[in-house]
Structure 1
Amino acid sequence: MSEAGMLLQAATLRRLRHLLAAIGPGLVVMLADTETGSVIAAAQSGAHWGYRMLPLLLLLIPLLYMAQELTIRLALGTGKSYGELVRQRWGRRAELASAALLLTSCLGALATQLSGLAGVGQLFGIPVWHTIGLLCALIFIMVCTGSYRSVERIAIGLGVFELAFLAEAWLARPDPGQMLAQLTQLPLGNHDFLLLAAANIGTCIMPWTLCYQQSAMLDKGLTLADLKPARLDTLIGAILCQVITAGILIAAAAAFGNGAGGESLDTIPQIAGGFTLLLGPTGGKLLFALALSGGALVATIVVCLSSAWTLGELAGKRESLEKHPLEAPWFYGSFAAMLMVTGALVSSGVNLVKLSIATSVANALLLPVMLAGLYWLASRELPPPLKPGRGYRLLLAALFVLVAGFSLYSGLVGSLG
């Protein structure tokens, strides 16, 4: 090989290593986005309304990417987390209000994940408190004995199991004619349909996903040199997240949905039952358990880390997974407290489906506040090279107002109906 060829090969390898080193936070947060709440909202939508919610799930891809991409700019352009920027721009009270909003979202999300994992245990005859106790202990040990990069690799490995939902959608063999017919019949005046629409939006863009990615990029030590691969990381993750969610809806529609708006699912075993109808009692149950557990475990890690980072910032400390537990007791203590409190709540027998839908709708109602804060910070706090241009800001504003307004309307009308 010539000297020029060797130099070209070396440069290509350096770019590849740089790309692989920067990829992670966006993919992890998107795998976490396909969590228990998303599975329940999509499965309920497919069972209750067939394929009618499918356009909404796919239309959310660009919005999901654009919202998360702003967190990339803010992290790399300011070197600060979302909470730190809120305090810098609006003061301590605003930071406390933002943290309260985030922690409320995290608490509901974590309860949903642990409830989903407990439901998976019940499929195999394992008592709820056994499943919750073992999982909480294993997750805490994993976090205490690793670094950010090791936790990230584990999270991505767990998230791979979510691809089973795509296999289930393919094996469901949906009827193209029925799908096309239902896509033109959107019951936008139906309260139940609007409530599920709000739930699907609320499980797509959530306070904890926005805050996690910004803090994770700082914990990983990424810089402005990582901007392009970080954007690619997030774009791939956003597409994968919504395609997997669409797969869940398609599989549920094929298993349960007659499109008449009559089927409703109340438990994880009941949702899993639809997949056993498609794939048989053993294969269906196993694939569903792996897929749901993968997303729920990644989301559990992400939610707990978001909470711990937020609580640390409120105490005036930016903690990191790179520190030993004895060096960052507040960080690891907060992580453990979230697991213990929520684990106890789930073990008490809370209704998973009702909790999940309520949490998702609450996220949808909080979405306008989060998007407004994100937009304002990106417009005011970024240095000129990273600040969105005038045309892009107008596009962002239009999309954010449209989706936030629809989620607010859907959540309120659906809840009151």
Structure 2
Amino acid sequence: MDDMRRRDPNTGVGTFSWRHLAALLGPGIIAMLADTDAGSLITASQSGAQWGYRLLWLQLVLIPVLFIAQELTVRLGAVTGKSHGALIRETYGRFWAFVAVITLVVACVGALLTEMGGLAGIGAMLNIPSWVTMALVVAALTLMAVTGSFKSVERIALGAGAFEVVFVAVAVWAHPKAGEVARQFVSIPATDTKYLTLVSANIGAVIMPWMVFFQQSSVVEKGMKPTDIATERVDTAIGAVVTQVVMASVVIACAAALQHGGKAGQLDTVQQISDALTPVLGQVIGRIVFGVGFAGAAIVAAIVVTLTAARELGELLGSGHTLDEPVSRAPWFYATYFGVLVAGAAFIVAGVNVVSLAVGVQVLNALLLPIVIGFLYLLARRLPEPFRLAGTYHVVVAVVLAITVALGLYAGVAGLWS
């Protein structure tokens, strides 16, 4: 590996090579694909259905925002060799680590409910009872964890997330009119409160707290070093582009399907989104394509949030906390992993209103975001040279993260009172 980790004498982050990328590919792309989860796809669908192409510009602007935040996790993990929770504990004490991790676990459970609700919706489209769908999901994800290593689970997550690209094909099949796209792209109703609420909702969903914990832990678990940073940045950049292209594709597809037909409206459920896209693809093909893409998004997100909760709680309690350890050496890790899955499945089977729940999850994520982003920024400022966040880029990062946190909080409050 030495030939793939040549050190840049000026930065110490190593130099990029495609061969090196093939070896490291995973943490950045998986974190980003998980960000395009069931809730995010519903938000993108609403954006296109209600405002046509007027929120398309935002999906492009959010690419660098995603990269800026997640790149910091690459630095922290590769330079320190420690997870986000471990660094918080070491730097600021056990109390703050406990606050961050416990709140994170609650947020992960909330996110998992959204993913499982989405999967149950896909099952309902096929006339499969929710309890059967949930039993299959819990069994499959549990079997994956207890029989696989981190590398094998990473491959499964990448495979599931890859199905999200079908939405790009859907956007093409929708035949959006270039002139209309261009006209609405620059037509921004900046004084409309409903429009601003969706702007905030899109921004508030960009940096999920569990993404920060997941990517940093994955960097550590893959054994990355400072000389891997340059290549892992590319992995992260690819993920940021792919996930926002998927979001943009959903906006385009729903806008083309509904706006052109004069049927603008709100899409709150899996069934409603599927029905909106059926005219674009046809009844049978439409359901298959939509089901595959939506299920892929929900599965990769379910894997990420469940692993993140189990990893961080296991580490906080001083137990084994990786997939490469057997159940006997990591009891808290596997117990948390299984417990979170079962709890999520139970809520869905009990008939919890997933749409109403999404509002609560959004509020919770918004409240957690200042803590996670705050620690992310402060920890990056404490890294040794030349990896420390400093100079002009430090100012850019501070401004971008502050705006993201502020708009995330706004989205949460707006969702709570709407």
- Contact map agreement 2:62 2:244 (CA 8 A) in 1: yes
1:179 to 178, 181, 184: 181
What secondary structure sits across from 1:221 in the alignment? coil
Superposed CA deviations along residues 41-66 of structure 1, whole A, max 9, x for unmatched, are: 10011112211211112111001001
User: What pairs with 1:353-364 in structure 2 (closer than 5 Å)?
Assistant: 353-364=355-366
Structure 2: any 5+ residue segments left out of the alignment?
7-15
C-alpha separation in 1, matches of 2:403 and 2:109: 27
1:51 to 37, 46, 53: 53
Decide which moves more: 390-399 or 359-368. Answer: 359-368
Decide which moves more: 361-370 or 144-153. Answer: 361-370
2:74 to 72, 75, 85: 72
- Contact map agreement 2:204 2:404 (CA 8 A) in 1: no
C-alpha separation in 1, matches of 2:388 and 2:275: 49
Tell me how far 1:414 sits from its aligned partner.
5.6
Matching residue's letter, 2:282:
G
Residue of structure 1 in register with 2:12 after alignment? none
Tell me how far 1:74 sits from its aligned partner.
0.3
Q: Which runs of 4+ in 1 moved over 6 A?
A: none
Superposed CA deviations along residues 136-191 of structure 1, whole A, max 9, x for unmatched, are: 10111011101000111111111111110000001111122322332333333433
TM-score (norm 2): 0.92
Aligned CA distance change for structure 1 residues 44 and 187 (closer, same or farther; 3 Å):
same
C-alpha separation in 2, matches of 1:316 and 1:189: 51
Tell me how far 1:230 sits from its aligned partner.
0.8
Q: Does 1:400 align with 2:411?
A: no
Aligned CA distance change for structure 1 residues 58 and 362 (closer, same or farther; 3 Å):
farther
User: What pairs with 1:192-341 in structure 2 (closer than 5 Å)?
Assistant: 192-257=194-259, 263-341=265-343
Residue of structure 2 in register with 1:170 after alignment? 172
User: What pairs with 1:362-377 in structure 2 (closer than 5 Å)?
Assistant: 362-377=364-379
**How many residues are matched?**
406
C-alpha separation in 2, matches of 1:414 and 1:15: 44
- Contact map agreement 2:320 2:329 (CA 8 A) in 1: no
- Contact map agreement 1:48 1:264 (CA 8 A) in 2: yes
Matching residue's letter, 1:370:
V
Residue of structure 1 in register with 2:9 after alignment? none
Aligned CA distance change for structure 1 residues 189 and 363 (closer, same or farther; 3 Å):
farther
2:351 to 337, 349, 353: 349
- Contact map agreement 1:58 1:242 (CA 8 A) in 2: yes
Residue of structure 2 in register with 1:151 after alignment? 153
Superposed CA deviations along residues 190-226 of structure 1, whole A, max 9, x for unmatched, are: 3332332232223221000111000111112222232
Matching residue's letter, 1:403:
T
Matching residue's letter, 2:254:
A
C-alpha separation in 2, matches of 1:61 and 1:406: 16
User: Cα RMSD (Å) of the superposition?
Assistant: 2.2
Q: Does 1:114 align with 2:116?
A: yes
Structure 1: any 5+ residue segments left out of the alignment?
1-7
C-alpha separation in 1, matches of 2:262 and 2:378: 43
- Contact map agreement 1:158 1:297 (CA 8 A) in 2: yes
Q: Does 1:383 align with 2:379?
A: no
What secondary structure sits across from 2:328 in the alignment? coil
- Contact map agreement 1:199 1:361 (CA 8 A) in 2: no
TM-score (norm 1): 0.92
